[in-house]
Structure 1
Amino acid sequence: MDETLLRALTPTVIGVLVRRGAGFAAAEDAVQEALIEAVRGWPDDPPRDPKGWLITVAWRKFLDAARADASRRHRELRAGDEPAPGPSQDADDTLQLYFLCAHPSLTPASAVALTLRAVGGLTTRQIAQAYLVPEATMAQRISRAKRTVSGVRFDRPGDVATVLRVLYLVFNEGYSGDVDLAGEAIRLTRRLVAMTGHEEVAGLLALMLLHHARRPARTAPDGSLIPLAEQDRGRWDTRLIAEGVEVLQAALARDRLGEFQAQAAIAALHADAPTVEETDWAQIVEWYDELVRLTGSPVARLNRAVAVGESEGPKAGLAALAELDPGLPRHTAVAAYLHERDGDPVTAARLYAEAARSAPSLPERAHLTRQAARLNARLRG
């Protein structure tokens, strides 16, 4: 059973059913039922034309469901209505599914779940396991999302920026259960690059590849976080780094800079440094200036303060930090780091402890708590 093939065919088959007149929710349900039959039957009797088989079976599932629910049928559907599988607009169908699943009317969580199901071809169980929620909860979330977009026209232009934000949300979930969401996000973004040729889509792909290259060195055997400066760079995936840099350079050459390209350029500079001491912090500050210009993002400004602290010294970093809202997430952690760099361990220890109390994740909380304990032990000694 080629699970990768099934997942790759899923959005194409959904698109074919929608263009034949099925509603999105009904089409998606029918394709999921066809996939179940494929999993059961293909290992013993694989079809010569997998795509054609899925289209035929999914269309029959849709017709059966429509006949069984006459109150939701707007026209008579007869067995003779079934058209033979034929050529379909694969790229257009799949691209429209990306747009539909990232519709602005959906919450980010619903958009992610619907994208993983309809475009990624994952089962509800797999998505629920990846997000550590009960399968029934995820099923309800997906059902609500499908109802929300059920009236949206399938042929309307979509917003690439919204799609990219959904894919980046998927990527940042990382790994949980038997589904590698980071790997899944990279797979989906590769497909989107091939379909659109959009420079910002390429920028996101480059950013994902460069971040993913550092994954083996990001955590210790006990699961604790390892900061970038302390990571074993020999464990970084040089193949992914080379690919990410190549993708980024091609995107930048088109001279239409966007925020994901700018973020990828920063990641590339980190990846290019053989040691943390050789990091080109001055150029990283310049790229953060571009990112702030493009987005005005407070998070970008916060990260820029760190880069300024590395490039121009901790006092300059603290001065840049003083211009920002102290209520920003991770503001206190950045202040702690810069105060430690500035030779003030008492203030740094207090701020690390304070930052730990509001950390967004357990690994980050544990890391900040260890930093505070390290400085307190040094002060006592």
Structure 2
Amino acid sequence: MSSLAFETPERLVPVADQPHIRVSGVGKRFSGNVAVDGVSLDLARGEFVTLLGASGCGKTTLLRIIAGFVAADTGRVHCGGRDVTGQPPAQRRMGLVFQSYALFPTKTVAQNIGFSSHIRSVPRVEAQARVRELAALVELDQLLDRYPHELSGGQQQRVALARALACDPEVLLLDEPMSALDARIRAKLRIDLRRLVSRLGITTLYVTHDQEEAFALSDRVAVMSRGRIEQIGTPAEIYHRPATRFIAEFVGMSNLVTGRATEHGVAVDGGFWPANLPRTIEKGRTVTLLYRPEHLGLVAPARAAVAAGMPGRVEMTTFCGAHVRVQVRLETGEDVVADVPSALHADYRKGQPVCVVPDADNAWILPDGSRP
């Protein structure tokens, strides 16, 4: 691959501690319905941030407001210290990759990549060199004469990415660009995309509803719901330390237990869940604990009767490759889910007795005010 160099005009020299992208109190309504509700968000220069959420949560609208394709009702957008709120997309120096790729069907790969150079009247020799350089960067240099319908989905995605980079953007914006691809290609392209943007040091905002994709790509993840950012943090923080019950249930698989705080955990009717509770939590207070499936151990049927834990019976098992997800109905009537190594698949069959042993060190106490 060639080494691509992006120009940095004098007016865009980074200011110490100044975010590259700053979104301040941005709001948008459509026909009276709230799409984005007073969102504020900062991206550091070179950072990769993902907006994660279900369909209709406002993530694509927010991305298009930042790109300049949708006008915000309230709030401001700054890029590199400049207020770009009122500027059209072409003046914002942002490259956008659409969900549908939006490639020109009657243009070749080379013509699609070079489109921005064409409309900016870049000299032909310079434009052709730019196309070859970008094509080599995304490993399409042998396919420049092909048309979009002659390419695979993954190849089309890379053409769209190269075209977005052709305008020499400060910021790269991607709107669910891998949603139409199969799982194997998505996994490979995630690696390729992350390697590319890291190499270029380009600030990136990515939109997806795919949690695995968000965690694999991002420096930070912003989880959105009903037009608001519920929590922003590293993938590990979002997964292991959710700020609300909504985040705990939306991200990954969760086992949530609500009961009375004791000295060594939480007591529920007919059971006890061990946890290392902070001393600031008063005994007898109602708290909710989160245990991820990998933090619940299962004792095999032969030893279940003598194990120190909560007895139950296997309801269902799901083979997931490296692990098996086991649903257990506890004697208290609650259903919990635990992950065990797939090599132990045969040990857990429907109806067999097991004992659930929670990992007290990995129990997470949900903060006060977690909404149901």
Report 1 or 2 for greater relative contact order, CA contacts < 8 Å, sequence distance ≥ 6: 2
Common topology (TM > 0.5) = no
Q: Which has the higher helix share?
A: 1
TM-score of the two chains, using structure 1 as the length reference: 0.29
Q: Which has the higher strand share?
A: 2
